[in-house]
Amino acid sequence: MISHIMVLVSLILSFTAVASAGSFYQDFDIKWGDGRAKILGEGKLLTLSLDKASGSGFQSQNQYLFGKIDMQIKLVPGNSAGTVTSYYLSSLGSTHDEIDFEFLGNLSGDPYTLHTNVFTQGKGNREQQFHLWFDPTKDFHTYSILWNPRSIIFSVDGTPIRQFKNMQSDGIPFPKDQPMWIYSSLWNADDWATRGGLVKTDWSQAPFTASYRNFNAQACTWSSSSSSSSCSNNPTNNSWLSESLDSTGQERIKWAQKNYMIYNYCTDLKRFPLGLPSECSSA
């Protein structure tokens, strides 16, 4: 296991890491929404809007193969039932890899559901869901993905809430070969998002708006022209490449899951009557 991970690390040691914390103009392109997505404040703020006609979304200009990605987001306030704000990394194709944050809206006064998932080689079904310990509509909060050869760690305001470990030695696929773009979108999903689709979007509350700021990426960018990605061999600047949860991080993730996790696919025996996924017993 350790030797396998070290091989992965060694494959990228000669590469150049990019730390990005600049302008949304420099880092992202608005991909859809017909004017509903806006970059404001000289590139320091981005907003997505949703109305009955359309949602909106943006995509990173770079692809990444491993990275530590931070984004501050303020979610749709008030009655956000039926809406989904997604923030995720993904490659393309039927065997794509994907690392998801999705924020499922709710009626005023009821908590958002933070939905996480990991896809490997086109297969997902690894959902863990949480409520948050704060109101994510009142202010900006930092949502982070650390993706390196050891694991994928989801964090909220620096508190880890989920870890998906590299368990390839147990025959469990791990995202490590496909570069991914960063995406975000705000869209209507009232057929499933809130209470299984029982609560529909109230379009009288539209437009719904989510806001983004302070994107930061310590990451290995992918060059499509050379079909290669790389990170510097400077251990100080790229310590995230081998970062894992220390004892404090392990305690914090236990705290988050004990107090705020509302769904875990690894305990859903009704969903998997023939046996839980392999990573559930290996984790």
Task: Give the percent of the chain with pLDDT over 90.
Answer: 81
pTM of the model: 0.90
Residue carrying the six token digits 């437009």: 207
Q: What is the pLDDT of residues 124-155, one digit of tens each?
A: 999 999 999 999 999 999 999 999 999 999 99
Intra-chain end-to-end CA distance of the chain, in Å: 13
42 is catalytic: no
pLDDT at 283 over 70: no
Mean per-residue pLDDT of the chain: 90
Chain centroid to CA 232: how far? 24
Of 42, 102, 127, 251, which one is the catalytic site residue?
102
User: Can you give the pLDDT at residue 229?
Assistant: 57
At residue 202 the predicted structure's pLDDT band, cuts being 50, 70 and 90, is very high
Residue 93: CB atoms within 10 Å: 10
CA–CA distance, 147 with 202 (Å, rounded to integer): 37
Between residues 10 and 138, the one the model is more confident about: 138
pLDDT at 244 over 70: yes
User: Can you give the pLDDT at residue 237?
Assistant: 66
User: Can you give the pLDDT at residue 3?
Assistant: 47
CA–CA distance, 158 with 134 (Å, rounded to integer): 14
Residue 134: CB atoms within 10 Å: 11
Looking at domain 24-280, which of 1.10.357.10, 3.40.50.300, 2.60.120.200, 2.60.40.1180 is its CATH number?
A: 2.60.120.200
pLDDT at 234 over 90: no
Instruction: Give the DSSP per-residue string, the chain.
Output: -HHHHHHHHHHTTTS-EEEE-S-HHHHEEEEESTT-SEEEGGGTEEEEEE-SS--EEEEEEEEEEEEEEEEEEEPPPS--TTEEEEEEEE--STT--EEEEEEE--STTSPPEEEEEEEBTTB----EEE--SS-TTTS-EEEEEEE-SSEEEEEETTEEEEEEE--GGGT---S-SS-EEEEEEEEE-TTTTTGGGTSPP-GGGPPEEEEEEEEEEEEEEEETTTTEE-----TTTTGGGG----HHHHHHHHHHHHHHEEEEGGG-TTT-TT---HHHHH-
Residue 16 zone, left/alpha/beta (φ > 0; ψ -120 to 50; rest): beta
98 is catalytic: yes
Domains of the chain, by residue range, sit at 24-280
pLDDT at 10 over 50: no
User: Can you give the pLDDT at residue 195?
Assistant: 84
Mean predicted confidence (pLDDT) in 261-277: 96
User: Can you give the pLDDT at residue 260?
Assistant: 98
**Which two three-digit tokens encode residue 6?**
């070290």
Chain centroid to CA 236: how far? 25
Mean predicted confidence (pLDDT) in 114-121: 97
At residue 70 the predicted structure's pLDDT band, cuts being 50, 70 and 90, is very high
